[in-house]
Amino acid sequence: MFYPEPIERLIENLTRLPGIGRKTATRLAFFLLNTKDSYITELSRSLTDVKEKIRLCSVCFNITDSDPCAICRDERRDKSVVCVVEESSHMMVIESSNPGHLRYHVLHGVINPLEGIGPDEIRIKELQDRIVREGIREVIVATNPNIEGNTTAHYIGEILKHLDVTITRIASGIPVGGDIVYIDPLTIKSSMDNRKNL
Protein backbone atom coordinates (compact mmCIF):
# COMPACT_ATOMS: atom_id res chain seq x y z
CA MET A 1 0.00 0.00 0.00
CA PHE A 2 1.28 3.41 -0.93
CA TYR A 3 0.43 6.86 0.39
CA PRO A 4 -0.70 9.62 -2.03
CA GLU A 5 2.11 10.65 -4.37
CA PRO A 6 3.15 13.94 -2.61
CA ILE A 7 3.48 12.10 0.72
CA GLU A 8 5.41 9.25 -0.90
CA ARG A 9 7.76 11.77 -2.50
CA LEU A 10 8.32 13.53 0.84
CA ILE A 11 9.03 10.20 2.55
CA GLU A 12 11.41 9.28 -0.26
CA ASN A 13 13.27 12.61 0.09
CA LEU A 14 13.47 12.33 3.87
CA THR A 15 15.00 8.83 3.68
CA ARG A 16 17.93 10.38 1.78
CA LEU A 17 18.94 12.18 4.98
CA PRO A 18 21.65 10.42 7.02
CA GLY A 19 20.32 8.13 9.73
CA ILE A 20 16.69 8.35 8.55
CA GLY A 21 15.00 5.07 7.60
CA ARG A 22 11.57 4.72 6.01
CA LYS A 23 9.82 4.36 9.35
CA THR A 24 11.25 7.60 10.76
CA ALA A 25 10.73 9.34 7.41
CA THR A 26 7.06 8.35 7.45
CA ARG A 27 6.67 9.66 11.01
CA LEU A 28 8.34 12.95 10.01
CA ALA A 29 6.21 13.23 6.85
CA PHE A 30 3.00 12.92 8.86
CA PHE A 31 4.29 15.36 11.44
CA LEU A 32 4.93 17.87 8.65
CA LEU A 33 1.55 17.16 7.09
CA ASN A 34 -0.21 17.98 10.34
CA THR A 35 1.91 20.91 11.44
CA LYS A 36 1.16 24.64 11.05
CA ASP A 37 1.71 26.28 7.65
CA SER A 38 3.96 28.92 9.28
CA TYR A 39 6.41 26.23 10.38
CA ILE A 40 6.51 24.68 6.89
CA THR A 41 7.21 28.12 5.39
CA GLU A 42 9.99 28.76 7.91
CA LEU A 43 11.50 25.29 7.41
CA SER A 44 11.56 25.57 3.63
CA ARG A 45 13.04 29.07 3.84
CA SER A 46 15.82 27.88 6.16
CA LEU A 47 16.61 25.01 3.76
CA THR A 48 16.91 27.42 0.83
CA ASP A 49 18.91 29.95 2.87
CA VAL A 50 21.47 27.40 3.97
CA LYS A 51 22.26 26.61 0.33
CA GLU A 52 22.10 30.19 -0.92
CA LYS A 53 23.79 32.10 1.89
CA ILE A 54 26.37 29.72 3.36
CA ARG A 55 29.76 29.66 1.68
CA LEU A 56 33.39 29.21 2.68
CA CYS A 57 35.43 32.06 4.16
CA SER A 58 38.11 33.02 1.64
CA VAL A 59 40.70 33.30 4.44
CA CYS A 60 40.16 30.31 6.75
CA PHE A 61 37.62 28.20 4.77
CA ASN A 62 35.24 28.06 7.68
CA ILE A 63 31.55 27.96 6.70
CA THR A 64 30.12 31.47 6.89
CA ASP A 65 27.36 33.79 5.71
CA SER A 66 29.79 36.74 5.41
CA ASP A 67 33.26 36.84 3.87
CA PRO A 68 35.69 37.05 5.65
CA CYS A 69 33.98 35.21 8.49
CA ALA A 70 33.37 36.75 11.94
CA ILE A 71 36.43 34.98 13.40
CA CYS A 72 38.78 36.27 10.68
CA ARG A 73 37.34 39.78 11.12
CA ASP A 74 37.91 39.71 14.89
CA GLU A 75 40.89 42.02 15.45
CA ARG A 76 41.35 40.92 19.07
CA ARG A 77 42.54 37.45 18.07
CA ASP A 78 46.24 36.61 17.98
CA LYS A 79 47.34 37.09 14.37
CA SER A 80 50.56 35.10 14.79
CA VAL A 81 48.91 31.73 15.55
CA VAL A 82 46.66 29.54 13.40
CA CYS A 83 44.97 26.34 14.55
CA VAL A 84 44.48 23.79 11.75
CA VAL A 85 41.37 21.61 11.95
CA GLU A 86 39.75 18.97 9.76
CA GLU A 87 36.21 20.38 9.65
CA SER A 88 34.25 23.48 10.66
CA SER A 89 32.54 21.43 13.38
CA HIS A 90 35.94 20.66 14.96
CA MET A 91 36.73 24.37 14.90
CA MET A 92 33.52 25.15 16.81
CA VAL A 93 34.49 22.63 19.52
CA ILE A 94 37.98 24.09 19.96
CA GLU A 95 36.60 27.62 19.89
CA SER A 96 34.10 26.77 22.64
CA SER A 97 36.97 25.52 24.85
CA ASN A 98 38.89 28.77 24.46
CA PRO A 99 36.62 31.47 23.01
CA GLY A 100 37.96 34.56 21.31
CA HIS A 101 41.66 33.75 21.10
CA LEU A 102 42.61 31.62 18.12
CA ARG A 103 42.44 31.96 14.37
CA TYR A 104 41.74 28.81 12.40
CA HIS A 105 42.30 27.09 9.10
CA VAL A 106 39.78 24.46 8.01
CA LEU A 107 41.23 21.73 5.78
CA HIS A 108 37.89 20.13 4.79
CA GLY A 109 39.21 16.63 5.15
CA VAL A 110 42.39 14.70 5.86
CA ILE A 111 44.87 12.88 3.66
CA ASN A 112 43.49 9.39 3.06
CA PRO A 113 45.21 7.49 0.23
CA LEU A 114 42.75 4.57 0.50
CA GLU A 115 39.92 6.92 -0.43
CA GLY A 116 42.00 8.77 -3.01
CA ILE A 117 42.29 11.96 -0.94
CA GLY A 118 45.72 13.49 -1.37
CA PRO A 119 47.11 16.84 -0.13
CA ASP A 120 45.72 18.64 -3.20
CA GLU A 121 42.16 17.60 -2.32
CA ILE A 122 42.24 19.48 1.00
CA ARG A 123 43.18 23.09 1.82
CA ILE A 124 46.88 22.56 2.56
CA LYS A 125 48.26 24.73 -0.24
CA GLU A 126 46.02 27.55 0.98
CA LEU A 127 47.46 27.08 4.49
CA GLN A 128 50.99 27.35 3.15
CA ASP A 129 50.14 30.55 1.22
CA ARG A 130 48.43 32.01 4.24
CA ILE A 131 51.39 31.46 6.56
CA VAL A 132 53.63 33.42 4.20
CA ARG A 133 51.04 36.11 3.44
CA GLU A 134 50.00 36.72 7.06
CA GLY A 135 53.38 36.19 8.70
CA ILE A 136 52.03 33.44 10.97
CA ARG A 137 54.57 32.23 13.57
CA GLU A 138 52.90 29.16 15.03
CA VAL A 139 50.72 26.47 13.47
CA ILE A 140 48.81 24.25 15.91
CA VAL A 141 47.79 21.06 14.08
CA ALA A 142 44.55 19.86 15.67
CA THR A 143 43.64 17.00 13.33
CA ASN A 144 42.29 13.85 14.99
CA PRO A 145 44.85 11.52 16.61
CA ASN A 146 44.15 8.65 14.18
CA ILE A 147 46.11 7.37 11.15
CA GLU A 148 44.71 9.92 8.67
CA GLY A 149 44.93 12.81 11.13
CA ASN A 150 48.53 11.92 12.04
CA THR A 151 49.51 11.47 8.36
CA THR A 152 48.05 14.90 7.59
CA ALA A 153 49.85 16.47 10.57
CA HIS A 154 53.12 14.89 9.47
CA TYR A 155 52.66 16.14 5.90
CA ILE A 156 51.92 19.68 7.12
CA GLY A 157 55.08 19.53 9.27
CA GLU A 158 57.13 18.48 6.23
CA ILE A 159 55.90 21.11 3.78
CA LEU A 160 56.19 23.93 6.33
CA LYS A 161 59.58 23.05 7.72
CA HIS A 162 61.46 25.43 5.41
CA LEU A 163 59.32 28.34 6.69
CA ASP A 164 60.13 30.29 9.84
CA VAL A 165 57.17 28.88 11.75
CA THR A 166 56.77 26.72 14.86
CA ILE A 167 54.57 23.70 14.25
CA THR A 168 52.89 22.10 17.24
CA ARG A 169 50.54 19.12 17.50
CA ILE A 170 47.71 18.87 20.05
CA ALA A 171 48.47 16.28 22.75
CA SER A 172 46.52 13.04 22.92
CA GLY A 173 46.09 10.94 26.01
CA ILE A 174 43.86 10.19 28.97
CA PRO A 175 40.64 12.24 28.97
CA VAL A 176 39.98 14.65 31.84
CA GLY A 177 38.07 12.75 34.53
CA GLY A 178 39.12 9.43 32.98
CA ASP A 179 40.40 6.30 34.77
CA ILE A 180 43.68 4.67 33.68
CA VAL A 181 42.15 1.20 34.23
CA TYR A 182 39.78 1.72 31.28
CA ILE A 183 42.21 3.34 28.83
CA ASP A 184 43.53 1.36 25.85
CA PRO A 185 47.30 0.72 25.61
CA LEU A 186 47.79 3.02 22.59
CA THR A 187 46.27 5.97 24.43
CA ILE A 188 48.37 5.18 27.53
CA LYS A 189 51.47 5.11 25.33
CA SER A 190 50.49 8.42 23.73
CA SER A 191 49.97 10.05 27.13
CA MET A 192 53.35 8.73 28.31
CA ASP A 193 55.01 10.10 25.18
CA ASN A 194 53.28 13.45 25.68
CA ARG A 195 54.04 13.73 29.41
CA LYS A 196 55.14 17.09 30.78
CA ASN A 197 56.92 18.45 33.83
CA LEU A 198 54.83 18.97 36.96
CA distances from 167 to 97, 98, 138, 156, 192 (A): 21, 19, 6, 9, 21
The one segment of 60-68, 80-88, 170-178, 182-190 that binds Zn ion by CB under 5 A: 60-68
With binding defined as CB under 5 A, does residue 106 bind Zn ion?
Answer: no
**Which residue, 69 or 153, is less far from Zn ion as judged by CB?**
69
Site for Zn ion in 137-166 (CB under 5 A): none
Nearer to Zn ion, 8 or 74 (CB): 74
Closest CB to Zn ion among 68 and 119?
Answer: 68
Min separation Cβ 106 and Zn ion, Å: 8
Q: What is the 3-state secondary structure (H, E, C) of the chain?
A: CCCCHHHHHHHHHHCCCCCCCHHHHHHHHHHHHHCCHHHHHHHHHHHHHHHHHCEECCCCCCEECCCCCHHHHCCCCCCCEEEEECCHHHHHHHHHHCCCCCEEEECCCCCEHHHCECHHHCCHHHHHHHHHHHCCCEEEECCCCCHHHHHHHHHHHHHHCCCCCEEEECCCCCCCCCCHHHCCHHHHHHHHHCCCCC
CB of 103 to Zn ion, least distance (A): 8
Q: Which is nearer to Zn ion, 99 or 116 (CB)?
A: 99
Binding residue (CB under 5 A) for Zn ion from 10, 11, 57, 139 = 57
Q: Which residue is nearest to Zn ion (CB)?
A: 57
Between the CA of residue 65 and those of 57, 78, 104, what are the distances in Å? Answer: 8, 23, 17
Judged by CB under 5 A, the number of residues near Zn ion is 7
| Least distance to Zn ion, CB of residue 135, Å | 17
Contact residue for Zn ion among 10, 59, 110, 136 (CB under 5 A): 59
Q: Which is nearer to Zn ion, 57 or 82 (CB)?
A: 57
What part of residues 65-84 is at the interface with Zn ion (CB under 5 A)?
68-69, 72
Interaction site with Zn ion (CB under 5 A) = 57, 59-60, 62, 68-69, 72
